[in-house]
């Protein structure tokens, strides 16, 4: 064996080793919520399962607490393939263009009867159809599973016990025209703003309140400046876990199946974590002096009828199917 051939044979195992390493990929998962939040924990556990099942071919790294930018910025990075995975609010997803208009059906006020109804919808055919529509759109993302974003209520610096109390208030919403118009219909002014800006906006009086679930109100310290929590239940938003299609197309069929499987497991793990967190957050908020206000929801429902009529027209059939889910 001449020297050149001998060197080549010696180098082959190393070449195969390097080639194997080239296929290893780190899935960057970004979250605006802090470490320990149900969606963060469920996605971290999903990442661990993926890494274990693929023997490290797919690893993960969690970026919690909004370190990679706002939700909208993260979605743009996912579309480019710079970030691999995220959980995103449908409020944000519904603003990205007319490519997947059906995601907005879940964004309509009072489209779900209650929290349990929303869960039955996302666990069934309709939930999968919406994920498939995200996947088949031009967003360059694949819809994998759903996270539970809880029930969104109203928290304010002054108490809102009736629709009349809300008149003229400036309320922060996700920057989706439907959300802005919903609060305008309720007599307030909907102000679009990133989550990271709410605390200082409440403190400085730029806004009079915001709308979200108890864990978000607690974790982001909004309760320090807003002591009244009115149980409007106007939105019950499921939130998809998405992966960049650029990344997805680089995975083998087996890896794709594993990612889907563990994302679905994360859906149900997060739900359990969510219920525990929500109850604990509610208790902590009450301890911190937040007053939880039961209200008559009917005037709120009636006032938002024009929003459902305006935005619901294209989804009339889909809304009937949602209503029919028992």
> What pLDDT, in 10s, does the model give residues 96-105?
655 566 888 8
Q: Within 13 Å, how many C-alpha atoms sit on residue 42's CB side?
A: 27
pLDDT at 75 over 70: yes
Comparing CA positions, the residue from 106, 103, 107, 37 lying closest to residue 66 is 37
CA–CA–CA angle 110, 87, 67 (5° rounding):
125
Please give the span between the terminal C-alpha atoms of the chain, in angstroms, as a whole number.
Answer: 76
Contact 173, 166 (CB under 8 A): no
Say which residue, 19 or 282, is predicted with more confidence.
282
DSSP state of 290: P
pTM passes above 0.85: no
Q: Which of 87-96, 107-116, 148-157, 302-311 has the lowest mean pLDDT?
A: 87-96
Angle among Cα 271, 274, 280 to the nearest 5 degrees reads: 150
pLDDT category of residue 90 using cuts at 50, 70 and 90:
confident
Reply yes or no on whether the pLDDT at 10 is more than 70.
no
Region 285-300 average pLDDT: 97
Tokens of 154: 């109203």
- Among residues 107, 90, 104, 126, which one has the least CA distance to residue 323? 126
What does the block give as tokens for 48?
């661990």
Average pLDDT on 56-80 reads: 93
Nearest residue to 251 (alpha-carbon basis) of 95, 23, 17, 13 = 23
Q: Is the pLDDT of residue 58 over 60?
A: yes
| 93 pLDDT higher than 80 | no
**Is residue 209 predicted with pLDDT exceeding 70?**
yes
Q: What is the pLDDT of residue 15?
A: 38
**CA atoms within 13 Å, Cβ hemisphere of 47:** 22
Report phi then psi at 14, rounded to 5: -65, -40
Residues in CB range of 120: below 8 A, 6 or more apart: 325, 326
Alpha-carbon distance of 142 to 271, in angstroms, equals 21
* Of the listed ranges 17-26, 219-228, 283-292, the one predicted with least confidence: 17-26
**CATH number belonging to the domain at 3-324, selected among 3.30.450.40, 3.30.70.20, 3.40.190.170, 1.10.3720.10:** 3.40.190.170
């Amino acid at each position: 064996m001449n020297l050149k051939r001998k060197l080549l044979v010696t180098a082959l195992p190393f070449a195969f080793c390097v080639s194997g390493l080239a296929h290893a990929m780190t899935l960057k998962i970004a979250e605006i919520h802090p470490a320990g939040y149900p969606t963060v924990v469920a996605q971290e556990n999903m990442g661990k399962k993926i890494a274990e099942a693929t023997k490290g071919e797919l690893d993960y790294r969690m970026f919690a607490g909004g370190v990679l930018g706002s939700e909208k910025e993260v979605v743009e990075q996912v579309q480019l393939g710079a970030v691999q995975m995220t959980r995103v609010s449908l409020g944000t997803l519904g603003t990205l263009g007319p490519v997947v208009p059906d995601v907005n059906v879940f964004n309509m006020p009072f489209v779900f009867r209650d929290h349990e109804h929303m869960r039955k919808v996302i666990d069934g055919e309709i939930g999968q159809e919406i994920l498939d529509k995200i996947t088949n759109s031009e967003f360059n993302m694949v819809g994998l599973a759903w996270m539970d974003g809880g029930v969104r209520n109203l928290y304010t610096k002054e108490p809102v016990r009736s629709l009349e109390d809300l008149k003229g208030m400036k309320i922060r919403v996700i920057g989706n025209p439907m959300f802005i118009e919903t609060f305008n219909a309720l007599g307030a002014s909907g102000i679009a703003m990133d989550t990271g800006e709410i605390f200082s906006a409440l403190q400085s009086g730029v806004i009079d309140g915001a709308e979200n679930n108890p864990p978000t109100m607690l974790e982001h310290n909004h309760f320090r400046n807003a002591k009244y929590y009115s149980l409007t239940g106007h939105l019950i938003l499921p939130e998809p876990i998405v992966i960049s299609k650029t990344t997805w197309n680089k995975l083998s069929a087996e890896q794709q199946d594993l990612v889907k499987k563990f994302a679905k497991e994360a859906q149900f793990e997060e739900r359990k974590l969510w219920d525990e967190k929500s109850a604990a957050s509610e208790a902590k908020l009450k301890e911190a002096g937040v007053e939880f206000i039961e209200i008559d929801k009917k005037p709120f429902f009636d006032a938002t009828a024009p929003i459902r009529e305006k935005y619901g027209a294209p989804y009339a059939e889909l809304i009937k199917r949602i209503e029919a889910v028992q």
